[in-house]
Amino acid sequence: MTATRTASVPNTSNVSSPTGPSSTSHTPTDIASVASDLDVIVVGAGISGISAAHYLRERCPGTRFAMLEARQSLGGTWDLFRYPGVRSDSDMFTLGFSFRPWNSDQAIAEGGKILDYLKDTAHAEGLDGLIRYGHKLREARWDSSIARWTLDIERTYPDGRQETQQLTCRFLFMCSGYYAYDAGHSPAWPGMDDFTGKLVHPQHWPANLDYRDKRVVIIGSGATAVTLLPNMAPSAAHVTMLQRSPSYILSMPSRDGAAERLRALLPAGLAHRIVRMKNVLVTLGFYNAARRWPNAIRRVLIKRAARQAQGHVDVARDLSPRYNPWDQRLCLAPGGDIFKALRSGRASIVTDEIASFTQTGLALKSGKTLDADIVVTATGLRVQLMGGAKLLVDGEPVALADTVSYKGMMYSGVPNLASIFGYTNASWTLKAELIAQYVCRLVNHMNRHGYDTCVPRLRPHEHAELPAIGLTSGYIQRAAGELPKQGGRKPWVFYQSYFRDVRLMRWGRVDDGAMRFERRATREVDTPQVADALSGMKAASR
């Protein structure tokens, strides 16, 4: 990103840019591996970060950027979660990248295969060399006088040593997900200290946990619990899913037959695009039908689940949720695996509430007890935006709850910052790619016009009261006071519609009136790394 005024900070890139060739032979990877002042910093090296890096390299040639990853490996969610059966909750033809086809006909994939896919993608794209591991963003401070973010980084080396570093950038691209990696949501129940068995949270699954021939109770009814039950049941003595209330469980084939047939007939790239669009249409069609005819879809889902359970549960009590479909995400059961486990007799569902833990298990409010050797608290995530980093704009702390979401990717009054938050009713990657593409349009627009600042601003008559995310899921409701708001019309609406977002982000104007572009830098940057770069540019021009 460049600015044309003398008082602004020029582009210090040593690589080729849209305005002309470079003066040295350094590559973007060389620069990113050593530079401490960059055009764009991407925070996070999971699906979102890899998507962001791909499009920055492809569509913003010459832009100097690096990826910061707090952990010592890439992959995000798919590297963190290691519980039995961890898998995608969206089909892989849309969870995978549009620019790197998912080449299996396996529609719902295991976590390990997804991680391999992400590693292969990063390596094939040459993005793995741009990742700085062990870099945890603690604080980001925007200074309008230099049109830059200054980042305080806690760096952790593989041997455990730590130090604090500072980086600066013109644009901050947050791709760190929406939940805290250090710990999930863990309620406290009476008597937990009395329990003599093992207590486990899926987010930190012990590598050596042996549950063979053990009695296991899984607390929860969401996607994690629905995944754990059928994967633990074959080895455990018995697995019980203890739920306060049911979730909708939708069986779907483990493999996509259409994908297999199309790949046999068509070139791989074309087959991938057709299958991807087919799955987008099916997913969004079902979602829209559920919102329009909730009672009818509710009956269909419950009837299908009851037919597969074959009398092994009380349908009214155990399979009939209290909410409408898509008020919360549906739980997928590839190949109907959870129902097979229930029919086998090695697993069961109990709908009740916990009164207390005991030495040997759980006492329920109904008066019943559940004996357990292992209790798994599949009780959800703890929402955390910006990776937990503190944001300040010209010295003032930013409370995201006081901001309004702009196109579901930026925040009113916060300059030169975008973040990725995927769909709740479809694949995360669909929205991640749209946002990454839009950020590239934004960066290029600023470069072409010599702007150094972009900031979404509400007009005086505009206001927002609605939560940005409308789900009633526990993890969203617990974080309601921390999430931004949304308005009643674009660009302040947080759409849950891929096709509306395509129109808005691929074809909509960048300079739309709500996004304000400014040349605000009023003094030169005095950090040593930028001063050195400026000196190098002056020497090269002589």
* pLDDT tens by residue, 497-527: 899 999 999 999 999 999 999 987 665 555 5
Is pLDDT larger for residue 272 or for residue 530? 272
Helix (H, G, I), strand (E, B) or coil at 310: coil
In the chain, % of residues over pLDDT 90: 71
Overall average pLDDT of the 151-169 stretch: 95
Name the packing angle between helices 47-59 and 111-124 (round to 10°).
20
Residue 489 has a pLDDT of 84
* pLDDT of 61 above 80: yes
Q: How confident is the model at residue 416 (pLDDT cuts 50, 70, 90)?
A: very high
* pLDDT of 496 above 50: yes
Please give the backbone phi and psi of residue 183, each rounded to the nearest 5 degrees, phi first: -165, 145
Contact status, residue 194 vs residue 25, Cβ threshold 8 Å? no
CATH placement of domain 190-379: 3.50.50.60
Query: Alpha-carbon distance 38 to 50, whole Å?
Result: 18
Any binding-site annotation on 462?
A: no
The mean of the pLDDT values for the chain is 87
Q: Which two tokens stand for residue 200?
A: 């486990």
Any binding-site annotation on 468?
A: no
* pLDDT of 255 above 90: no
Contact status, residue 350 vs residue 246, Cβ threshold 8 Å? no
* pLDDT of 277 above 90: yes
Contact status, residue 477 vs residue 327, Cβ threshold 8 Å? no
pLDDT in tens, 291-301: 999 999 999 99
Query: Alpha-carbon distance 406 to 417, whole Å?
Result: 11
Residue 521 has a pLDDT of 64
Q: How confident is the model at residue 22 (pLDDT cuts 50, 70, 90)?
A: very low
Any binding-site annotation on 36?
A: no
What lies within 8 Å, CB to CB, of 123 at 6+ separation is none
Q: How confident is the model at residue 465 (pLDDT cuts 50, 70, 90)?
A: confident
Residue 5 has a pLDDT of 32
Is pLDDT larger for residue 8 or for residue 382? 382
Q: How confident is the model at residue 263 (pLDDT cuts 50, 70, 90)?
A: confident
Q: How confident is the model at residue 469 (pLDDT cuts 50, 70, 90)?
A: confident
Residue 488 has a pLDDT of 79
Residue 222 has a pLDDT of 93
CATH 3.50.50.60 in the chain, residue ranges = 28-181+383-518, 190-379
Q: How confident is the model at residue 231 (pLDDT cuts 50, 70, 90)?
A: very high
Residue 256 has a pLDDT of 87
Overall average pLDDT of the 28-36 stretch: 52
pTM: 0.88
Q: Identify which of 468, 338, 405, 430 has the alpha carbon closest to the alpha carbon of residue 95.
A: 430
Overall average pLDDT of the 393-398 stretch: 96
Contact status, residue 28 vs residue 98, Cβ threshold 8 Å? no
Is pLDDT larger for residue 517 or for residue 537? 517
Query: Alpha-carbon distance 291 to 205, whole Å?
Result: 36
pLDDT in tens, 328-350: 889 999 999 999 999 999 999 99
CATH placement of domain 28-181+383-518: 3.50.50.60
Q: How confident is the model at residue 479 (pLDDT cuts 50, 70, 90)?
A: low
* pLDDT of 14 above 50: no
